[in-house]
Structure 1
């Protein structure tokens, strides 16, 4: 049941995501760059424009003046930028200020006015295919047709030519506003809400956005209630899965539903540019991935602990922390790309600084890889007694950078993991049994029958000891040495506890010594004497 619900939910999310469509707005970077370029043009322009009270000497100056006045809600001043001559009779009773308000709302939502693209000359653009007295600002869709927004050069009262928004465009304002304006609901809510505007969104649009989120939460509540209950039943001892469902997964789903209905708000192009950054969506996706990684880490941790692989369990947290950081960095880069900034250019801009960081982190990365190798292959683990290189000691801790070893002299050595993993490692703690092979040397004057009896009794003593393994078990007269008869003894004691081995070896050594005494066979005396002035 859970798999079916979860699969259905994911397919629904993918369908919603693929069917989200916005008008192509400029990115936030485009808007910022256009403003910077416009300011630069103002400081570098050398052309002398017509002196006009409202600065209507060029298409760019006139459009900029209109937008500035409209954005400041100075609709009376903004009306001076409209060509109100020869309008249809149905517009005679509409106040110029109301036409300004409606046109501003339509432009905010449907047309990004790139002032830098407009001519800053008294004569306007000459190679645009339009009459010399007319320049185009852009086009706005109305039904199945496009309405052109024109600037037109018209005579002032004193006969001088100035630029205004064309009366042909003004005549289409009611039709454009009917399709792209606030609508009945927006008009109604605007009567009771304060006149506040942020990113081109009015107060009623913020209220609608809150209602959208609330509606999405209520609509999805039964589905997530079932999923959370299933998660609780599946793992009653842990709340990790229910928290993952109720937190990041719920947020992502709500964001996708709200995004699919975003056009109900009739957002401005500024709001769309911010929405195209997908800030909340990227946060939700990143949270889902990070929370999913944490959920996976906890599951793996439980499995490793149940298999008594504590060292591997300790490594999971730093490894998954690195993965989480990578996820957040990737999310940040995607967000910057969506805003119109070139993330690749920004990364390349790090230049020498990034190279220096990479070089500085080289050893740390090597040690981290060494730690991963030690945890995965586990040649040694904490508590093991081993020989590494020329040193011998007990491994106390395998960290991300160093392996801590306490030597038999009780000193502590911290060895970088990258170095430690390349050393010749001999792990004594991995022995399943310990070899017993004493060096027995008998006097050269020992008789053969005595030696044969000694060998037989030593073998019997080994066989009768409870810790001696059945095979291999060997007691042989190995060789005639220069000063002694060499007896080879080889067997294994079934213990991995070194104190038990020492106790058993002591018992066997005493038995062998007793056997030699009973058979009147003495160990060889290997002491060398220097004889001076001995008689020949």
Structure 2
């Protein structure tokens, strides 16, 4: 062993570039996939190259050696397809070397069509003839070929061959009799007219049977379904007519992509119209309920759905015509992630607006408080909500932030609390206090705008400079402004009661109040004491609780508004 060899063994041999995997050699006939086999066979018989077409069939050695036998088998196959055969559209057949793996057939076998005539019912299969160590080679299976060879079609002609003049059969366009192309055009027009007639009859029957067909909603539903259903009927009638008449399989297979494309477009039109119908119906419903803020969300969702319909339709049509959209979808997925990251706040605000519309914590026109901001809701958009404050300024709050904030909605109150606290002078006598407690509570019982709940009027304490009385009741009013009017009336009436009792309100000792000192009225105090004395003698002192009979007598005994107040008629307008 020389030194160079030993050195190489110690250091290891130099790394060679990674060998590229061997590529599968292309098949000159395109038989690596089921789709390539079917397309190659149709092209070969369209070119009338029957020997080439025979190479797409599994033939016995004896049949393969005889060119005339190979041509006979292919022509029989073509005639069967023309008479009542149907091959799957090219875009539906698998374009992978493994074939379809999601069907009930065994591995390496795909179903690509069928033949149904008066004397034959044949299922068409293609089968991978190679093992795992060799490139795929898909051919029409031996079972299919044997069924074709056993079919007896001698002397049989298609409907077109019997009807069309020889000149239209002998003259060819694209290796197809010109008469077949003329019949295709005629059948297209006939299928369209017949479908329109069927749709008219169907709509007439629906209007006779369905009572709501004459309503706006019924007409919208019929309008939404009419065009897509007509397109589907046209396609179905065209396929049925061309197959029954014996149109060449070459022509029908070329039209298969157009037929599937029309079917997809019809389905997309149906989705589009149903989106319009649902959007229109939902918007009208929201308008009737006064949920104006939901209309913008419905419009946004409707437009988003339509964009999705167009996007899905483009992908589906590109896939049908054979364009590989996998790379495009991957690129759009990456772009969508980048867009979502860049528009994170926008998406957050949109989700917030959806939650606001769904939960409805506030509506347009509601007076509410969001954190430390008070105002009336002016509008609820897809990105933000605008509040008009008492200073007549507009505050814009992003919906993402709004949905996470504490919202206090004053418009949803079913009652308004009335909770004044009175501090009376220390000179107030116990009888005067008893008089105040009874009369103040009587006022609350008697007032028609106080909710029919037991009001609370309590002598709650003696402070350093006053006697404290707390009042709690609830005002029943339609709005905050009306509750303010009732509160004003109650306070004025309470001032009258306080003045009549002979005492007065106290002022905090730390406040300097410069005024002429008016001593408490001894006459009123004596009068109040006499009143309370009579209550006690007659067991009518309504403390600590009121007599229920007395409560019933007091209810609604006060006239509100009071005499002398402006009280317009129903036809007048309060300004």
Alignment TM-score, normalising by the size of structure 1 = 0.61
- In structure 1, the residue matched to 2:432 is 450
Residues 406, 196 of structure 1: CA spacing in aligned structure 2 closer, same or farther, 3 A cutoff? farther
Q: Residue 402 of structure 1 contacts residue 416 of structure 1 at CA under 8 Å; is this kept in 2? A: yes
Match of 1:350, SS state, is helix
**From 223, 247, 261, the counterpart of 1:243:** 223
- Alignment check: 8 A CA contact 2:370 2:406 kept: yes
Deviation at 1:429, TM superposition (A): 0.4
Distance 1:294 1:351, change over 3 A: closer
How far is the alpha carbon of 1:511 from its aligned partner?
A: 1.6
The 3-state SS of whatever aligns with 1:440 is: strand
Instruction: Say which SS state the counterpart of residue 507 (structure 2) adopts.
Output: coil
Question: 2: CA distance between counterparts of 1:335 and 1:176?
Answer: 41
Contiguous gaps of at least 5 residues in structure 1: 1-24, 36-62, 70-85, 89-98, 113-127, 130-135, 148-174, 531-536
* Aligned-partner Cα distance in 1 for 2:497–2:198: 91
Q: Please, what TM-score do these two structures have when normalized by structure 2?
A: 0.57
Other structure's SS at 2:496 match:
helix
- Unpaired runs of 5+ residues, structure 2, are 1-29, 50-65, 69-74, 91-128, 131-136, 513-575
Alpha-carbon deviations, 1:32-81, whole Å to 9, x = none?
xx99xxxxxxxxxxxxxxxxxxxxxxxxxxx99x9799xxxxxxxxxxxx
Instruction: Mark the CA change 1:515 to 1:138 in structure 2 (over 3 Å): closer, same or farther.
Output: closer
2:386 to 375, 399, 404: 404
Instruction: Map Cα deviations across residues 314-360 of structure 1 (whole Å, 9 max, x no partner).
Output: 54333233333333333333333333444444211335423222223
Q: Measure the CA separation in 1 of the matches of 2:167 and 2:380.
A: 65
TM-fit CA distance, 1:381 = 0.9
Corresponding residue for 1:390? 372
Match of 1:510 in 2: 492
Alignment check: 8 A CA contact 2:340 2:347 kept: no
- Shift in alpha-carbon separation, 1:280–1:189, aligned structure 2, 3 A: farther
Give the number of the structure with larger relative contact order, counting CA–CA contacts within 8 Å between residues 6 or more apart. 1
Partner Cα separation in structure 2 for residue 110 and residue 177 of structure 1: 24
Contact 2:368 2:407 in 1 (8 A): yes
List per-residue Cα deviations over 1:90-130 (Å, max 9, x = no partner): xxxxxxxxx9xx99x99xx9999xxxxxxxxxxxxxxx99x
Q: Deviations over 1:476-506 (max 9, x none)?
A: 1112233322211111111032222122111
Which shifted more, 477-486 or 300-309? 300-309
Q: 1:490 to 1:178 in 2, by over 3 A?
A: same
Aligned residue for 1:208?
187
* Contact 1:181–1:266 under 8 Å retained in 2: no
Aligned residues: 398
Cα distance in 1, alignment partners of residues 444 and 228 from structure 2: 67
Distance (Å, rounded) in 1 between the aligned partners of 2:344 and 2:156: 63
Residue pair 1:371, 1:400 contacting (<8 A) in 2 also: yes
CA RMSD of aligned residues (A): 4.8
Answering whether residue 317 of structure 2 is matched by residue 338 of structure 1, we say no
Do the aligned residues in 2 keep the contact of 1:110 with 1:269 (CA within 8 Å)?
no
Shift of the alpha carbon at 1:254? 2.9
